[in-house]
Structure 1
Amino acid sequence: MAKPITAIQKRQLTEEEKRAEALAKLKAAVGDSEEAVRELLTLIEQLHESGLLEAANALLKAREDVAKIVVGQLNQKPVTTMINHLFSIAGLAASLDPEKTAKLLGQLAAGVMDAYEQTEAETKKIGLLDLLRALNDPDTNRAIRFGLSALKAIGQQLGSKE
């Protein structure tokens, strides 16, 4: 009577068999993605022709030195100050109502363009009486009211932070 099997031995592939299997898988993958592989090769060729591939390789070889330089530059006071300002501006922008901001910026841009065109067309000096007459103009009065309201609100905020 035969002995029962107590252990199953797994067949070990040689290095050459492993390489052949990997190559077969790679060939199948290339065949499945032929167009993508062609585009990738075209991209690599263009990078090589422009010198960017060589620059990228040099950058990767010197990555530790480059990282030290970048970190050194980022740690300088002007850079950290600028980054802090950018975060503050981003925080301010995030706190604003996008619809109101877009409307205000659109009106501001249109008003500036209209003012530019009117200034180009009119070269007459403005006198004191002209300024007083301008206060009666509803559009000018509205803009002055907006400016004064903005100045008052800013002053209130400045006073409450002290």
Structure 2
Amino acid sequence: MAAPITSIKRTERTEMEVQQEKLADLQKLMAEQEESLQKIMEITGELHSIGALDALQAMLQAKEKIAGIAVGQVSREPVTNMLNNLLAAAGTLTAIDPATVQQLSQSVQQGLNEAEKGVTEGQKIGVLQLMKSVNDPDINRALTFGMNFLKGMGKGLNDSAE
């Protein structure tokens, strides 16, 4: 029968052995990624030649000053107003059905094309022609849409005033 194990010997690697192992791993990784490393070296070389690395280094050294300037600029009233308006506009756009926005956008484009055509042709409209045009189904549809839009907008303005 074999003798029982009474002690376990741990082999501890020296600092030199750990460094040698890390260097071997790094060497292996570099060999596997040779093409990528060459591209990175080319990119950094180009950045250095145009002075971008020097500029980046200067920016990193002045990071606190730059951060202070950026915070000062962002906290100005016009910038905060712009951000608030962007958020409000985004909220409005998310509440509208995309199909409606697309149809309205196409209608506006078509209307602009017709308006441009009328301007280039030098069309003039008299009062009688204006009254007759209300019976045109396309004009009537646009007028009805506009009137309903204005009615809804007026209701919204009334709700916000209360």
- TM-score, normalising length from structure 2? 0.85
Query: In structure 1, what is the equivalent of residue 124 of structure 2?
Result: 125
Query: In structure 1, what is the equivalent of residue 44 of structure 2?
Result: 44
Deviation >3 Å, runs of 4+: 4-10, 16-20
Kindly report which structure 2 residues correspond to 1:64-143, keeping only aligned pairs within 5 A, or say none.
64-121=64-121, 123-143=122-142
Identity, in percent, stands at: 34
Q: Pairwise CA RMSD of aligned residues?
A: 2.2
C-alpha separation in 2, matches of 1:147 and 1:36: 60
Q: How far 1:13 sits from its partner (Å)?
A: 2.4
Q: Gapped runs of 5+ residues in structure 1? A: none
Cα deviation 1:129-149 (Å, max 9, x = unaligned): 121121121111111111111
C-alpha separation in 2, matches of 1:37 and 1:117: 59
Q: Does 1:13 align with 2:42?
A: no
Kindly tell me the number of residue pairs found equivalent between the two proteins.
159
Does 60-69 or 48-57 show the bigger shift?
48-57
Q: How far 1:17 sits from its partner (Å)?
A: 4.0
Cα deviation 1:43-80 (Å, max 9, x = unaligned): 21222223222211211121121111111211222211
- TM-score, normalising length from structure 1? 0.85
Q: How far 1:7 sits from its partner (Å)?
A: 5.3
Aligned partner of residue 124 in structure 2, secondary structure: coil
Q: Gapped runs of 5+ residues in structure 2? A: none
